[in-house]
Structure 1
């Protein structure tokens, strides 16, 4: 083989390798482009200014679950156009709620060996005012109507309410003094008119009436109860059985909640109900699927709640009086707060 022939063979090999490399790069770019296109098929999310005191009408704030650089950030949309473009804040939360210019954001702090968690109280511009360590995995968060109190619940053992092998820790903070009630299980329980003591009590899912009263779930003895809490007296008084994750209506007359129903799967036991606090009459909503969420009252007649979707959860809405049908409000979103 002559020297010229060897050079020609070498040149051909180089050209072949170059073409293969170029093809691989173009294929990867094409696949990347497909992924980007699939992501853009979801809601449009853009960076911008997000306020807990919106000046441009009623807004819905959510934890954005759409794939992309703004996943898990608190995002804002007009309440009149919930499926429209979202404005992302840059603040990431696992659980979130807000009212009257105050927000509560439950976050993961990623460590080398394990993750820890914290509760961050936010001002109207989503700047951190105060941070508290959280004892476990975030699950529920609420702010009082005045913005003076915030509450959160975490799992300190387990990560689901469906079974029995879990325990929770619920805390309330007064944002005027930064006084914290770190564990509502230390409150005195009044059950059937008498002081009740048991080692297996769990408390979760606070919803505030005002700056002195709240409702929550108490679990003990294999049963759950709606309890009315008094911050001043440090008491929890049972109101009604089989109530979990209560949410008080804006007019203070009804509780939306998830109820365990007979015959349902142990892994999907709950349906969405509304309780009249005066008559204790229960009304099943038109939502017939399993609900594992603390519903939000969008107004005095409409509930918003999360159901698992393609990218984590979608938000749905249903009338609170048992009429109508459930309808999808937003895709790829969870932990809503209605402001304005």
Structure 2
């Protein structure tokens, strides 16, 4: 795969020039984005993601962030097991967000400080740390392509003028084969309604990769509207497909996308409902889960969607599942858990 040209060689947009000219305070944050780096971590002593020697990626298993463990350590259990309190095997690294596929894992770790900062930590099959990327912000989304080659993560950031005192996002893409890191994908050429789109408030989040490691989907937000975009790594371009699609998750058969749609009917300040979009027909249907879900759902298989919801007692989250075809009902799958990640 030919990587896109470095962001510094691409022409800046009018929006980016205005942003740079208007933001003095945010320069600290944006400079941190510009110098995010990937390094070998052999011999590092600054609290890397550490798993117990016997804990590794192997399938079929469901991996998840166990909120029963100190610092949210990763645990696993059999994929087919649906008893919410079934025994789990613990001993994984401590992560705020986690995802794994193809013998590669991505662990997002938040670190204290002002402004907030975090590490995107790359782990091998034995969950040994091989690389890390330092980024400002708060961990939000993490995804690894099916082959384990392509990684993406989203951080919440602060300081942008168009966002005022609210959060905006920074989404990165890392190609492990070439080592090429796109620190912030905001400058990807975007086509909306057949025309090149420019705006100072463009934000991306929630990348999900196709099997070919070239095509990807993500959410783009601008001027109060969210859209599903289809991206191409080889040409480094993206086009908008549909409005009101957030946090897409591509099915194992690559034919459907699970996503959260803003309906205004959610609970606890989560105005989204899970839907599934057929990419061939572009028809969508709601899932049987009617509670507001603020998560990037995961496909346990071609028929089942998994996602995290806050617990009724307010102490962490649980992982629930629901059929992908809109039938059935939600079922509690793993108690005290988040970041559900099937390893096949």
Q: Give the TM bin, normalised by the shorter chain.
A: 0.7 to 0.9
Pick the structure with greater CA Rg.
1
Relative distance call for 1:71 and 1:133 in structure 2 (3 A) is: closer
- Corresponding residue for 1:16? none
Q: 1:49 aligns with which of 45, 54, 60?
A: 54
Q: For residues 339 and 63 of structure 1, what CA distance do their matches in structure 2 show? A: 14
Q: Can you list the C-alpha shifts for 1:156-201, whole angstroms capped at 9, x where unaligned?
A: 129xxxx993210000001122210111111001001111101111
Task: Give the alignment of 1:58-77 within 5 angstroms.
Answer: 58-66=60-68, 68=69, 70-77=70-77
More helix by share: 1
- Corresponding residue for 2:167? 166
- Corresponding residue for 1:253? 255
Comparing 222-231 with 261-270, greater Cα deviation is found at: 261-270
- Corresponding residue for 2:96? 94
Tell whether 2:81 aligns with 1:81: yes
- Corresponding residue for 1:328? 332
Q: How much does 1:211 deviate?
A: 1.1
Comparing 269-278 with 114-123, greater Cα deviation is found at: 114-123
- Contact 2:154 2:205 (C-alpha < 8 Å) held by counterparts: yes
Relative distance call for 1:101 and 1:267 in structure 2 (3 A) is: same
- Contact 1:104 1:122 (C-alpha < 8 Å) held by counterparts: yes
Q: Can you list the C-alpha shifts for 1:23-74, whole angstroms capped at 9, x where unaligned?
A: xxxxxxxxxxxxxxxxxxxxxxxx772222x1xx5100001101x5x44001
Q: For residues 99 and 77 of structure 2, what CA distance do their matches in structure 1 show? A: 15
Q: How much does 1:336 deviate?
A: 1.3
Q: For residues 250 and 164 of structure 1, what CA distance do their matches in structure 2 show? A: 38
- Contact 1:49 1:87 (C-alpha < 8 Å) held by counterparts: no
Q: How much does 1:233 deviate?
A: 1.2
Tell whether 2:134 aligns with 1:130: no
Q: For residues 299 and 135 of structure 2, what CA distance do their matches in structure 1 show? A: 26
Q: For residues 266 and 326 of structure 2, what CA distance do their matches in structure 1 show? A: 20
Q: How much does 1:116 deviate?
A: 2.6
Q: For residues 134 and 71 of structure 2, what CA distance do their matches in structure 1 show? A: 23
Q: For residues 92 and 342 of structure 2, what CA distance do their matches in structure 1 show? A: 19
Tell whether 2:234 aligns with 1:218: no
- Corresponding residue for 2:201? 200
Tell whether 2:320 aligns with 1:319: no
Q: How much does 1:305 deviate?
A: 0.3
- Corresponding residue for 2:36? none
Q: For residues 128 and 333 of structure 1, what CA distance do their matches in structure 2 show? A: 23
Q: How much does 1:315 deviate?
A: 0.3
Q: 1:103 aligns with which of 79, 84, 105?
A: 105
Tell whether 2:284 aligns with 1:282: yes
Q: For residues 164 and 327 of structure 1, what CA distance do their matches in structure 2 show? A: 37
More strand by share: 1
- Corresponding residue for 2:191? 190
Q: For residues 318 and 296 of structure 2, what CA distance do their matches in structure 1 show? A: 14
Q: How much does 1:76 deviate?
A: 1.1
TM norm structure 1:
0.79
- Contact 2:106 2:144 (C-alpha < 8 Å) held by counterparts: yes
- Contact 1:48 1:88 (C-alpha < 8 Å) held by counterparts: no
- Corresponding residue for 1:26? none
Q: For residues 270 and 110 of structure 2, what CA distance do their matches in structure 1 show? A: 27
TM norm structure 2:
0.79
- Corresponding residue for 1:176? 177
Relative distance call for 1:324 and 1:164 in structure 2 (3 A) is: farther
Q: For residues 266 and 128 of structure 1, what CA distance do their matches in structure 2 show? A: 37
Q: For residues 263 and 64 of structure 1, what CA distance do their matches in structure 2 show? A: 29
Task: Kindly indicate whether structure 1 or structure 2 has the higher relative contact order, using CA contacts under 8 Å at least 6 residues apart.
Answer: 2
Q: How big is the alpha-carbon RMSD for the aligned residues of Structure 1 and Structure 2?
A: 2.1
Where structure 1 has 5 or more consecutive residues not aligned to the other structure, the ranges are 1-46
